[in-house]
Structure 1
Amino acid sequence: MTKIRKIFTFLLRLLALAATLSATIVMVTSHDSAHVLNLTFKAKYSNSPAFMYFVIVEAIVSGYNLMILFLASKGSLWPMVIIIDVVVALLLTSSMSAALAIAQVGKKGNTHAGWLPICGQVHKFCNHVTRALVAGIIAAALYFLLILYTLYTVLNPLNRTDPKLKTDLCSSVTLGIRCSSSSSDVDQTFEKSENDAAMTGGAFDFTRATTSLTDNKSIASSKKVTLVRHGLSSWNEESRVQGSSNQSVLTETGVMQAERCRKAIANMDFDQCYSSPISRAKSTAEIIWQGREEPLVFLDSLKEAHLFFLEGMKNEDAKQRYPKEYTTWREDPANFYVNGIYPVRELWGTAREAWKEILLTPGEHVLVITHKSILRALICTALGLGPERFRAIDVNNGGISVFNFNKKGEAMIQSLNMTAHMYSDHIYLY
């Protein structure tokens, strides 16, 4: 479906480029002359400021469209492209209006002002102008169609949700989440109370529930850690093995998912935000953390597992070319061995390093934005699970998980892979 959308958008832009180029060329080449009483009158587009404005706008839009056609579809750029598209459509409309007004006077004249029509004397010029205006109208129409289609694709995947699904999601929400929905079947709002534990039967104490992640070093205060997986990436979309590659970037959908995450936790106070420096996580973090005072902190210990030669390969190709390695990676990841190392086992060590750095840094509530495999390792190490349980945990794009830690660095999971905000306007208040 995404590929079809991209092809359709590309074709619309290509047609719009053809229309604006045609309008520019035809208008620029429009010229004619007439002889009246031994006098020669020349008609050309540069005689009219309105026609010159039309040519300038069409030429600029042609250049812009040509650039966009060859622009790499990096998710972080496309919101700006959508805004520019709207501006372009408005410019096309204004230039068309100005040129049409002058063309109408040239064809019909204006008896009230005493202006005579000129098309009877300069047929060639008027015909060229007419063709240029038709091409301009087509270009403007294509741009408006492009904007409408873009708005449809932006709003449709995330806002059109089965009412029953919304009902199920909202019904399963616990205290600490405000659930809102446009569906008339759903009218539930949950607000955070002053004593959640007393009202919900939540644990007051979880000493020795898990092993200390700080090697029994005391931390200044109990701590809450919110874990978020990055938004949909280009290689997620193409079903490629990502690993630690920096070539997989956020898609348009990924940007929207990051925006939804930002809104879902906008009312939460965080002391710090840690992120993987790899592109797809970094871009997600920049969107979610925008407007906050503290700078983002990028940790190498939050990088995704390095999968060597498998990275960038489509899953089906990797399965065919390296059946043994790929099968082990999928079915027995703890024993996946490549280039002299066990990537998943190493990931467990990396996760413990990340936990130490995060927990021993001052602050009561921190946000962590990273990748699926390292998130699995972070969650499993916090719960005392080994690498053989790697696939026991799943985290969706934009999924949010929450851990509480006591002063000994012992963990208790509060929420796992919350995704209600992906389907409706949930606001988390845990």
Structure 2
Amino acid sequence: MHMTKLYLIRHGETAWNAASRAQGSQNIALSENGRMQAKLLANRMKNYPIDHIYSSDLDRAYETAKIMAEPLGLPVEKIEGFREMCFGEWEGLTHHEIQSKYDEHYSVWRSKPHEAYIPGGEKLIDVQKRGLRALHQLVETHKDENIAVISHGVAIKAILLGLMDIDLSYFYRIRQDNTCINLVEFTDYGPVIVTLNDTSHIESMKP
């Protein structure tokens, strides 16, 4: 039986994460805290037999991937399909600012994310489509290998729901913390989610 293992991992923390600012397609670097999380992630992942590492083309994901790749001695390849959802006019604003300036759109995003239209931004379904397209291509290319992909919170949640054939309306039922690991095994019978939002490697950093 064929078995391809995919480690789908969220990037480390940024200053905008800490301030609850919408990042989306903005290119924000990791914070010191985020780099420490990435080092703890690297320390854990060096125990796994990873064959290939891919990352979103945004710096916070790429830097996390590079830190993780170093002890494994592997290169990191960027794939645009794994970048974060574009939040258009919301990017750079805090959740509170978005709520006060775009109340109508924001309440739809919070209650019916699959129907939300963010001014100048992407739709959730489009993020899911490009993410799944990129993912299936990798799984097809690397049969029976172990792949790590570093991506973003919204993109990963959309991908995971797609893999499980669960409607995007359930978007808020999944949580993705910084540097969390989601392990998905692709078998002859389809994808199986083994672990979800595993952050045991950064427990020591939690207050």
User: Where on the TM-score scale, by shorter chain, does this alignment land: which range?
Assistant: over 0.9
Distance 2:23 2:112 in 1: 18
SS at match of 2:192: strand
| Sequence identity percentage | 28
CA distances 1:171-206 after superposition (whole Å, capped 9, x unpaired)? xxxxxxxxxxxxxxxxxxxxxxxxxxxxxxxxxx9x
Which amino acid is the alignment partner of residue 257 of structure 1? Answer: Q
Q: Which residue of 1 aligns with 2:167?
A: 386
List structure 1 runs of 4+ shifted beyond 4 angstroms.
Answer: 339-342
Secondary structure in structure 2 of the residue aligned to 1:396: coil
CA contact (8 A) 2:128 2:159 kept: yes
Query: Which has a greater percent of helix?
Result: 1
Change (3 A) 1:343 1:270: same
- Deviation string for 1:117-146 (max 9, x for gaps)? xxxxxxxxxxxxxxxxxxxxxxxxxxxxxx
- Partners of 1:238 and 1:332 lie apart in 2 by 24
Partners of 1:400 and 1:371 lie apart in 2 by: 12
Matched residues in 1 for 2:169 and 2:48: separation?
34
Deviation at 1:232, TM superposition (A): 0.8
Tell me what 1:277 maps to.
57
Letter in structure 2 aligned against 1:241: A
Among 140, 160, 164, the alignment partner of 1:360 is 140
Structure 2: which amino acid aligns with 1:284?
T
Q: CA deviation at 1:262?
A: 0.5
Report the 3-state secondary structure (helix = DSSP H, G, I; strand = E; otherwise coil) of the residue aligned with 2:147.
strand
Q: Residue 97 of structure 2 aligns to a residue in which SS?
A: helix
Give how far 1:341 is off. 7.0
User: Alpha-carbon deviation of 1:224?
Assistant: 0.6
Aligned counterpart for 1:336 among listed residues 108, 113, 116: 116
Alignment pair present for 1:256 and 2:36: yes
| Correspondence for 1:288 | 68
Q: Please show how residues 191-210 of structure 1 align to structure 2 within 5 Å.
A: none
Aligned CA-pair RMSD: 1.8
Kept in 2, the 8 Å contact 1:244–1:305? The answer is: yes
Give the Cα–Cα distance (whole angstroms) in 2 for the partners of residues 358 and 392 of structure 1. Answer: 26
Higher relative contact order (CA 8 A, sep 6+): 2
Partner of 2:186: 405
> Residues 334 and 342 of structure 1: is their aligned pair in 2 closer, same or farther, counting only changes over 3 Å?
farther
2:13 corresponds to 1:232: yes
Deviation at residue 423 of structure 1 after TM alignment: 1.6
Describe the shift of the 1:293–1:407 C-alpha distance in structure 2 as closer, same or farther (beyond 3 A). farther
Matches within 5 A, 1:108-147: none
Deviation for aligned residue 1:297: 1.2
Read off the aligned partner of 2:155 and give its amino acid letter: I
Separation in 2, partners of 1:342, 1:264: 34
Structure 2 residue runs without a partner (length 5+): none
User: 1:273 Cα deviation (Å)?
Assistant: 0.5
State the match for 1:369 in structure 2.
150
- What secondary structure is seen at the aligned counterpart in 2 of 1:280? helix
TM-score of the aligned structures, taking structure 2 as reference length = 0.92
> In 2, Cα distance between the equivalents of 1:293 and 1:276?
19
Contact kept, 8 Å, 1:260 with 1:421, in 2: the verdict is yes
Distance 2:38 2:200 in 1: 13
Per-residue deviation, 1:324:
0.8
CA displacement at 1:291 relative to structure 2: 3.5
- How far off its partner does 1:244 sit? 1.4
> Which structure has greater strand proportion?
2
Q: Residue 407 of structure 1: CA displacement?
A: 3.5
**Matched residue type, 2:175:** D
1:314–1:404 CA distance, 2 compared to 1 (3 A): same
Q: Would the aligned equivalents of 2:12 and 2:64 in 1 still touch at CA under 8 Å?
A: yes
Contact 1:335-1:342 at 8 Å conserved across structures: no
Shift of 1:339: 4.5
Offset of 1:402 from its aligned partner? 0.4
Structure 2 residue aligned with 1:103 = none
State the Cα distance separating 1:342 from its structure 2 match.
Answer: 5.5
Structure with max Cα Rg? 1
Q: What is the one-letter code of the residue matched to 1:415?
A: T
Q: How does 1:404-423 map to 2 (within 5 A)?
A: 404-407=185-188, 410-423=190-203
Q: What secondary structure is seen at the aligned counterpart in 1 of 2:124?
A: helix
